[in-house]
Structure 1
Amino acid sequence: MFKKLIYILLIALIFIVISGERNLNRIQLSDENALHTKTVETQSLPSTFSTKLTSGKPVTIVFLGDYVTSDDSLPDGNLNHVALLANWFNKNYPDQVKIINAGMNANTVSHMKKRIDTDVIKHAPDLVVISTGLNDALGAWKIPVKEYAANYQAIVEAIVASGDTEVVIRTPNPTTSVEYNVKMKSYIQASRELTSQDKVYLFDFYQIMADDVHAKNISQLDLMQNKLHPNIKGQAYLSEQFKTYFTSEIIQP
């Protein structure tokens, strides 16, 4: 009887240890879960922009965004991802691609909505790349996510309605703060959901960078100038990921 009791106690102890290990794993994964967000199914690949580009016709790309996009996003005149991409396009498609940087420091999607006519539509772009969300979710404005989604939707609809223009939604980069990333989740998801409509496509940079960080392919701290914004290496990383996206998803031979 005594031996049977000891046997039962040992089984119970093993069960407790296994349960504890599982709970510990859940806790250890909390930082990673804060980075990862729900994905959505997106439209098929753009066609008009790619066709014009590969057939040798001139095209115009406008980058609409906040500080990460703006010309002054790096110190000492270093080239950010937009300028690096402009050089890449010029090398591969000489004198064919016009790049317009419509990024502006301290902008939310509400600010961008007010200037799309003058800074985007007037250029009759073939492709518009939009990125916003850091200031909306984390800046001084604290734009409610419903307002963010509505204004973002209005921007996309105005651009698409203006002509034969396609739109790429670029999700913003993860921050170095778990708390900030949690706050951004609903904004990231709202951005992704915009890509369910025609002529609107997704470059999910947030998820790409999050996956690379957690796979230990990159050190996030090495790529950031502060909690929110990429440094010189981070902008170069963004440019390289954008090239991969353009060549694998946008530009079709």
Structure 2
Amino acid sequence: MQLFNSGLGANLVTREAPAYPHSGRPAADERLERDVIRHEPDLLILAYGLNDARGGTSLPLFIATLASLINRVRERLDPLIVIVGSFYACRFRYDDPNWEHADLIGLRQFSDASRGVAEDHDCLFVEMISAFDGADWLMHYDGVHANDLGHQVIADRIFGVLAANCTCLATRTKALEPQIAPWRDESTLRTPILPHA
């Protein structure tokens, strides 16, 4: 298995976003060929929304661009596509007004928009905000990025959706099960009868 992590800090879904001049460039719509298509992935995980919300990208522009990215990929490839909803943040005011356009309500709107795009385009969807909501100890002190524990929560959420939807993850194990001795003998298990007090 090969893993390609093409994530960029402060990245946006489109170069048309208001915060684009202040973002981690190029935007997703500019780097799709270089960072996705040329690798010919079997699995593609797209995680956008947090920076777009913070940077003032309109929901219609976000939705249209995310849908366009999926369509562009599927014109050439057929990977399983997982859309990760907007990540949680617990701090929304900074010294840079270019990134102060969101609040938790806005992040939820972007997450819901991502869910809609995923449903409309036959992609899996991973909701993230509820995993972090109120658990600020999962966040880096900057209030925007997850800390190490938070990243474990993110990985667990993504894997949970994959495991629940991708039978291929268990193909090898299921084939081996008939040849594997049970780890315990169910016939010997008994619930103890406790005396009445």
Give the Cα–Cα distance (whole angstroms) in 2 for the partners of residues 181 and 146 of structure 1.
18
Q: Aligned-pair distance for 1:177?
A: 4.9
- 2:136 corresponding residue in structure 1: 221
Superposed, which structure 2 residues align to 1:1-253 within 5 Å?
97-110=1-14, 111-139=27-55, 142-177=56-91, 180-210=103-133, 213=134, 220-225=135-140, 226-252=142-168, 253=170
Q: Aligned-pair distance for 1:170?
A: 0.6
Q: Which has the higher contact order (CA 8 A, sep 6+)?
A: 1
User: TM-score, structure 2 length as denominator?
Assistant: 0.68
1:243–1:185 CA distance, 2 compared to 1 (3 A): closer
> Which digits, 9 at most, give the CA deviation of each residue in 1:206-231, with x for residues without a partner?
23444xx5xxxxxx221101221101
Contact 1:172 1:206 in 2 (8 A): yes
Give the Cα–Cα distance (whole angstroms) in 2 for the partners of residues 241 and 151 of structure 1.
24
Give the Cα–Cα distance (whole angstroms) in 2 for the partners of residues 109 and 198 of structure 1.
17
Give the Cα–Cα distance (whole angstroms) in 1 for the partners of residues 4 and 116 of structure 2.
26
Q: Aligned-pair distance for 1:151?
A: 0.8
> Which digits, 9 at most, give the CA deviation of each residue in 1:158-190, with x for residues without a partner?
112212222100112222259711122321121
Q: SS of 2:3's equivalent?
A: strand
Root-mean-square deviation (CA, aligned residues, Å) is 1.9
Contact 1:160 1:167 in 2 (8 A): no
Structure whose residues are more often strand by fraction: 1
Amino acid at match of 1:174: Y
> Which digits, 9 at most, give the CA deviation of each residue in 1:115-168, with x for residues without a partner?
0011100111111000011111113xx111111111111101111221222210
Contact 1:165 1:199 in 2 (8 A): no
- 2:189 corresponding residue in structure 1: none
Q: SS of 2:33's equivalent?
A: helix
Amino acid at match of 1:118: R
- 1:48 corresponding residue in structure 2: none
Contact 1:128 1:168 in 2 (8 A): yes
Give the Cα–Cα distance (whole angstroms) in 1 for the partners of residues 155 and 119 of structure 2.
25
Runs of 4+ that moved beyond 3 A: 207-210
Give the Cα–Cα distance (whole angstroms) in 1 for the partners of residues 79 and 159 of structure 2.
20
